[in-house]
Structure 1
Amino acid sequence: MSSETRPPIFRMAREDVWEFPRPNMDLVPELIKYSAATVAVVARNVVGTPSTFFNGVAPLFRGKGHDILGPAITLQYAPQRPDLMPTGEYAKVEDQNHRIAVNITQEGYVLVVQADGNTRSGVLGGNMMLALQHNRKAAGLVVHGVVRDYSEIAQQNFPIWTQEARTTTDYDAQHDLAPLAVNVRISVGGHTVMPGDWIRADDDGVCYFPGDKIEEVLDGCNKHWWEPAARHFLMEGGHLTDCYPMPEHRWDEAAVWQRANGHYVPDDIG
């Protein structure tokens, strides 16, 4: 069978891209107040796994204040098969699924990429980041692999998490990897991620939870409402056992401080 007659394994028409229920974005401002670490602790109980953190995936620009929460658009890479997809960065651009993934990413969404920890081939470069950031208004990019054009993307200040916080100059992805599919089940950092799953990422790293569980996760996080006050009391010299976790007899005191400083307090406290 010639390459011209082989099934288009590495090609997806736009109408073939999976649709999925659109998550409720209304709760994003409430849940993003909680760190990825706190969300991960709650989410692991919701998901029923020992962890929801992506192993080995770290912020490319630590200390920049990158702090995102959004639904996942998924992109799956696989080892290159030249007989199934032409090699070369610009070969048949209309068939390249990474371009389709960028173009369907919606405002506030996170593009999540399976590259199986490959640190040799950059799955996206600077111009793709520009499109994600300025044209699509994506919340950020998470890659179980690496990207290219570090100096260029550093100037953009676009939130990016990659394998071991690395970039590469070796290859564009199409020489080593091929974009296999868009909005399918993928594997990232030791976890299965579905299109529409929530992605929470900050300087601690990246975690996920199912798209229909945001209310449940928010309710769980709200049980940690006293954490800002706990940090304040500790900075003032408070004893750890009297601050974290905040004992119930100090909840009213914590509520007074949090309301005065613009932090969430449950209605039935204080």
Structure 2
Amino acid sequence: MAKNYIVRTIDRADPPVIAELAGAGVATAHEAAGRVGLIGPNVVARQAGSAVAGSAVTVSCQPGDNLMIHAAVEICQPGDILVVTTTSVSTDGMFGDLLATSLRARGVVGLVMDAGVRDIATLREMGFPVWSRAVHSQGTVKASPGSVNVPVVVDGAIVNPGDVVVADDDGVLILPRSTAPTVAEASRRRLANEEEKRSVLAAGTLGVDLYGLRTLLADLGVEYVDRLPGESTP
């Protein structure tokens, strides 16, 4: 029989680094990280406008069984994000407002769920942000063993305990704790650079000129013409 564990202690990134990544957002931090770390597009925001970052507390459950989510609550610390997956694909509603209430009491700032959630209207009213594979009222049981704070895979992305999770309307990004400070610094530089470009574009400069793309277009054999060859003049 496979062993199951609840690991009580994990290392977390420094709070200022996490806060800076939350401000940068998923798209910017993803680019700054070298375009790696995105959770797949099946796990989506279930509310608009939420932007959070935190340390991953990971949970591996059996499909249709939320026992290990309950077990994970006491392991969470303020600023954490609970990251839940199942051993096979599931859309059952394994998380609702009562669990959200319990997590909020521990200071958890959000949930990434590679399965279903329920009571979504109440979760939105609570302001508890959720990213999930599905919204589904299918009930679950509390009967099967699993693990807390072990490596998991969420829609194609490996998540280790203590990784930095960045989540907003653009999706969910996972950054290793060791690289988070470097990505935060790169995100800061990228945001400053984008602000300069935004001012130039707002003044009317075209992207093909700002980025020097006319030469590339020519090298690729793209021609500017007023009409397609052989097209008759009206």
The TM-score normalised by the length of structure 2 is 0.79
Q: Go from structure 1 to structure 2 and tell me whether the alpha carbon gap of 1:222 and 1:8 turns closer, same or farther (over 3 Å shift).
A: closer
Unaligned runs of 5+ in 1: 1-6, 81-86, 90-95, 246-270
Q: Secondary structure at the match of 1:206?
A: strand
Taking the aligned partners of 2:36 and 2:117, their CA distance within structure 1 comes to: 26
Q: CA RMSD in A?
A: 2.6
Amino acid at match of 1:73: V
Aligned match of 1:118: 90
Aligned partner of 1:169 among 123, 133, 137: 137
Unaligned runs of 5+ in 2: 213-234
Contact 1:105 1:136 in 2 (8 A): yes
User: In the TM superposition, what are the counterparts of 1:140-219 in structure 2 within 5 Å?
Assistant: 140-163=110-133, 166-174=134-142, 178=144, 180-219=146-185
Aligned match of 2:224: none
Aligned match of 1:267: none
Q: Deviations over 1:177-231 (max 9, x none)?
A: x451101110101011100001011100001111121111122223312223433
Contact 1:230 1:244 in 2 (8 A): no
Taking the aligned partners of 1:57 and 1:173, their CA distance within structure 2 comes to: 22
How far is the alpha carbon of 1:235 from its aligned partner?
A: 4.2
Question: Is 1:21 matched with 2:11?
Answer: yes
How far is the alpha carbon of 1:243 from its aligned partner?
A: 5.2
Contact 1:18 1:184 in 2 (8 A): no
Q: Go from structure 1 to structure 2 and tell me whether the alpha carbon gap of 1:102 and 1:226 turns closer, same or farther (over 3 Å shift).
A: same
Taking the aligned partners of 1:28 and 1:17, their CA distance within structure 2 comes to: 22
Q: Secondary structure at the match of 2:55?
A: strand
Taking the aligned partners of 1:184 and 1:53, their CA distance within structure 2 comes to: 19
Q: Secondary structure at the match of 1:172?
A: coil
- Percent identity, aligned pairs only? 28
Contact 1:75 1:179 in 2 (8 A): no
Amino acid at match of 1:32: A
Taking the aligned partners of 1:240 and 1:67, their CA distance within structure 2 comes to: 28
Q: Aligned residues, how many?
A: 209
How far is the alpha carbon of 1:173 from its aligned partner?
A: 5.0
Taking the aligned partners of 1:172 and 1:149, their CA distance within structure 2 comes to: 14
Taking the aligned partners of 1:8 and 1:75, their CA distance within structure 2 comes to: 16
How far is the alpha carbon of 1:18 from its aligned partner?
A: 4.6
